Amino acid sequence: MRSRLISYLCVFTLLFFCLALGQNSATDAQTSSQDSPAGRWKTVDDTTGKVKSLVVIWEENGRLYGRIEKLVDPDPQDPDPRCERCEGELKGKPLLGLRILWNLQKDGDEWSGGKILDPDNGKVYKCHIALEHDGKKLKVRGFIGFSLLGRTQHWLRDE
């Protein structure tokens, strides 16, 4: 009887340990996904504070890229908005699917060295981004020349 009780206790301890280990692995996987800017982000309009679009960011060969996946509350008068103010090969391209972020490389706690396109004015800026608030916010800084001459936005992770 006593050996059976010890056997049950060992089995329950082993099961508890396995469940706890599995739960930690799931937590680690969730945390690691929050360590990268890769994923979907809600862009927020500077003046209204409302969500403007959904941007998907992905990593390819150690660099980050991003494109517009969805427009929130698009203008019903313009069902297929295009980047009319863009220059070169981007001029007249549809906003949906438009690449607006490219060639950012990991640099310590941020990603930098890439470019960002502002489809509202068609201009391309140098860019660096950094995760904030446990990966729930993305600080996006676009600038000309020096980082002091630019604008910062905060995007929200789409969960």
Which CATH fold would you assign to the domain 36-157?
Answer: Lipocalin (2.40.128)
Output the six-digit token pair for 22: 């599995």
Kindly report, residue by residue over 114-132, the tens digit of the pLDDT.
999 999 999 999 999 999 9
Cβ(96)–Cβ(67) below 8 Å: no
CA-to-CA distance for 159 and 118, rounded, in angstroms?
24
Per-residue pLDDT at 72 exceeds 50: yes
Per-residue pLDDT at 98 exceeds 80: yes
CA-to-CA distance for 89 and 45, rounded, in angstroms?
26
pTM of the model: 0.77
How would residue 149 be classed by pLDDT, with cut points 50, 70 and 90? confident
Output the six-digit token pair for 2: 């006593």
Per-residue pLDDT at 9 exceeds 50: no
Output the six-digit token pair for 40: 């979907």
pLDDT at 79: 87
Per-residue pLDDT at 11 exceeds 70: no
CA distances from 42 to 15, 51, 120 (A): 41, 6, 16
Q: Name the residue ranges covered by the structural domains of the chain.
A: 1-34, 36-157
Among 103, 143, 109, 102, which residue's Cα sits nearest to residue 126?
143
CA distances from 123 to 69, 73, 91 (A): 19, 23, 11
